[in-house]
């Protein structure tokens, strides 16, 4: 990403790099959780469905 | 009209003050952001949630400055306090508010430029965001430039207090940038290396900063998707939420009120007298010096005044804050201020964040069960105490604790103790004050005095 805004504070290069890594890791787990919940909800719904 | 001494780093605008009127000059360079803040509904949303201080556009002129985009007049906040004066819960509340404001900003296509604890003030017990110019336009892929600052201003001090029991106030009171992550990483126990939040946001973060400290600025920077950025903010929020303060009940003074020989009759008598004295003084801002958990601050607080309830003990202030939050008391402001070492001015030119006495002008000082500590334990002569208090406010409520009192007997035998008696007290305070009233506290040997500053002092 090209830097085009004037900074108000120094974010620190190291801090931005680690932020990208941490956000990537957390984003990955977040996605896993979302999909995990979706899959879980399919099974839970099935379980709770009234017998036909 | 005075320009605020803390308002100069951001070229988007600055704050100036005229008595209790707070204005913000907004630069034309901020026009796109200002338009988006309003048109996106972000400002309205923040206002609706009570998360941002309100403003209205005015036609106030500022001679000598370029034409502004707009001049805003902000709602007046009766107390300006700093993170070094906050207890654990206050810093935690301010941290959560910052993350909430950031989250809502992203929903509206904006992002915070910074992550500073100085962007937050308290309105009663509720934190409120005060920097209207902190909002920048967000473009997909952009990192949060305030991440490091947030970790230094909020996360590291909260972690240190929570995991090591280290009071963060002295560190924040001397270093305007907060607690450096390198220091926090060294001070935290090695077991925190196995806690994902501490490992990522403090230990690895500190390492990354030191490794890249002298690197050349790259032309490009890593891109962070909005989804990942939101995951980061969510994680910071759940981390801050989970941090707890240990040992609240073990404070040296936290249970002072229960330990003292003051019984209910004496307490009720004391509360009645100070209420009466307070209404005579009629001050709108009161400093309760050595307030402990704020019991007597709450007794004198009314619709016509606000009480800054100061104590040096972070846990007593914590208790004070929690009590006020539970009881929804909004005219008592608990702050960590040591009477013998009040918050000093720090930052650029020592003016950026002024000391407590430059920020608040009390009309009345209340010093209950304090004088024997100042004079005997800290060895500060009566006259120095009288001179300092009379320089701060025209009225003083002071409790005289006689030398025969158990609380005085147990104090160390300093030279101050030799001089500690009622006639020396009267002589020293008589140089600066006239006595308006004196009433003995029932069931004790103590008495409460209402003193008025002499004309010309």
Q: Per-residue pLDDT tens for B144-161?
A: 999 999 999 999 999 999
Q: Count chain A–chain B contacts defined by CB atoms under 8 A.
A: 111
- Continuous segment of H or E residues that includes residue B436: strand B433-440
Interface test with B, best of A6, A16, A33 (most B CBs within 10 A): A16
Range in B107-121, B174-188, B261-275, B357-371 the model is least confident about: B261-275
What share of chain B has pLDDT > 70, as a percent? 95
| Spatial contact of B60 and B71, defined as CB atoms under 8 Å apart | yes
Question: Residue B353: what pLDDT?
Answer: 93
Question: Residue A48: what pLDDT?
Answer: 55
Q: Which is it for the CA torsion B372, B377, B381, B387, positive or negative?
A: negative
Average pLDDT value over all residues in chain B: 93
- Between chains, do A22 and B143 touch, taking CB under 8 Å as contact? no
Please give the span between the terminal C-alpha atoms of chain A, in angstroms, as a whole number: 55
For B141, nearest residue in chain A (alpha carbons): A1
| Spatial contact of B57 and B74, defined as CB atoms under 8 Å apart | no
| Spatial contact of B452 and B436, defined as CB atoms under 8 Å apart | yes
Q: Determine the 3-state secondary structure of B139 from DSSP.
A: coil
- Continuous segment of H or E residues that includes residue A45: helix A13-48
Question: Which residues have C-beta within 8 Å of that of residue B216, sequence separation ≥ 6?
Answer: none
- Between chains, do A22 and B232 touch, taking CB under 8 Å as contact? yes
Q: Taking residues B263-287, report their average pLDDT.
A: 96
| Cα(B453)–Cα(B394) distance, integer angstroms | 5
Q: Is the pLDDT of residue A3 over 70?
A: no
Q: Is the pLDDT of residue B270 over 60?
A: yes
- Between chains, do A9 and B145 touch, taking CB under 8 Å as contact? yes
Instruction: Report residue A36's pLDDT band, with 50, 70 and 90 as the boundaries.
Output: confident
Question: Residue B61: what pLDDT?
Answer: 84
Q: Which is it for the CA torsion B96, B98, B101, B103, positive or negative?
A: negative
Question: Which residues have C-beta within 8 Å of that of residue B173, sequence separation ≥ 6?
Answer: B82, B84, B85, B343, B344, B346
Q: Is the pLDDT of residue B291 over 70?
A: yes
Q: Is the pLDDT of residue B185 over 70?
A: yes
- Between chains, do A30 and B200 touch, taking CB under 8 Å as contact? no
Q: Taking residues B66-76, report their average pLDDT.
A: 93
Q: Determine the 3-state secondary structure of B238 from DSSP.
A: helix
Task: Read off the tokens for B409.
Answer: 């007997």
Q: Is the pLDDT of residue B243 over 70?
A: yes
- DSSP code of B217? P
A18 close to B (CB below 8 A)? yes
- Between chains, do A15 and B205 touch, taking CB under 8 Å as contact? yes
Q: Is the pLDDT of residue B274 over 60?
A: yes
């Amino acid at each position: 990403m090209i830097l085009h805004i004037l900074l108000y504070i120094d974010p620190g290069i190291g801090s931005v790099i680690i932020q990208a890594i941490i956000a990537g890791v957390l984003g990955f787990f977040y996605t896993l959780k979302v999909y995990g919940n979706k899959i879980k909800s399919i099974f839970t719904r099935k379980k709770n469905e009234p017998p036909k | 009209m005075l320009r605020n001494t803390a308002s100069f780093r951001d070229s988007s605008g600055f704050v100036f003050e005229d008595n209790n009127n707070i204005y913000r000059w907004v630069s034309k360079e901020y026009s796109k952001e200002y338009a988006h803040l309003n048109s996106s509904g972000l400002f309205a949303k923040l206002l609706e949630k009570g998360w941002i201080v309100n403003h209205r556009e005015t036609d106030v002129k500022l001679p000598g400055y370029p034409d502004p985009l707009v001049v805003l007049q902000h709602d007046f906040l009766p107390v300006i306090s700093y993170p070094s004066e906050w207890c654990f819960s206050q810093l935690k509340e301010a941290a959560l508010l910052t993350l909430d404001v950031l989250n809502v900003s992203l929903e509206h296509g904006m992002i915070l430029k910074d992550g500073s604890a100085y962007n937050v003030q308290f309105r009663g017990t509720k934190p409120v965001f005060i920097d209207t110019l902190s909002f920048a336009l967000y473009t997909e892929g952009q990192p949060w430039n305030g991440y490091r600052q947030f970790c230094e201003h909020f996360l590291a001090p909260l972690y240190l207090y929570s995991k090591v029991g280290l009071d963060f106030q002295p560190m924040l009171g001397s270093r305007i940038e907060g607690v450096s992550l390198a220091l926090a990483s060294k001070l935290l126990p090695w077991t925190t290396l196995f806690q994902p939040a501490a490992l990522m946001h403090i230990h690895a973060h500190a390492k990354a900063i030191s490794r890249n400290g002298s690197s050349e600025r790259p032309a490009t920077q890593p891109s962070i998707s909005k989804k990942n950025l939101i995951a980061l903010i969510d994680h910071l929020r759940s981390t801050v939420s989970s941090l707890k303060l240990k040992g609240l009940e073990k404070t040296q003074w936290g249970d002072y009120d229960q330990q003292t020989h003051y019984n209910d009759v004496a307490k009720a008598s004391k509360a009645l007298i100070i209420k009466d004295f307070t209404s005579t003084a009629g001050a709108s801002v009161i400093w309760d010096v050595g307030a402990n958990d704020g019991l007597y601050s709450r007794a004198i607080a009314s619709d016509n005044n606000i009480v800054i309830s100061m104590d040096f003990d972070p846990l007593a202030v914590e208790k004070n804050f929690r009590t006020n939050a539970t009881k929804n008391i909004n005219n008592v402001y608990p702050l960590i201020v040591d009477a013998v070492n009040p918050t000093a001015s720090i930052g650029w030119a020592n003016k950026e964040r002024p000391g407590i006495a430059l920020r608040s002008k009390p009309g009345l000082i209340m010093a209950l069960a304090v004088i024997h500590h100042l004079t005997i334990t800290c060895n500060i002569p009566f006259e120095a105490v009288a001179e300092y208090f009379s320089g701060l406010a025209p009225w003083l409520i002071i409790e005289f604790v006689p030398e025969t009192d158990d609380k005085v007997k147990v104090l160390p035998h300093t030279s101050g103790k030799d001089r500690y008696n009622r006639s020396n007290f009267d002589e020293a305070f008589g140089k600066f004050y006239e006595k308006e009233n004196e009433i003995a506290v029932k069931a004790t040997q103590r008495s409460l005095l209402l003193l008025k500053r002499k004309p010309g002092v």
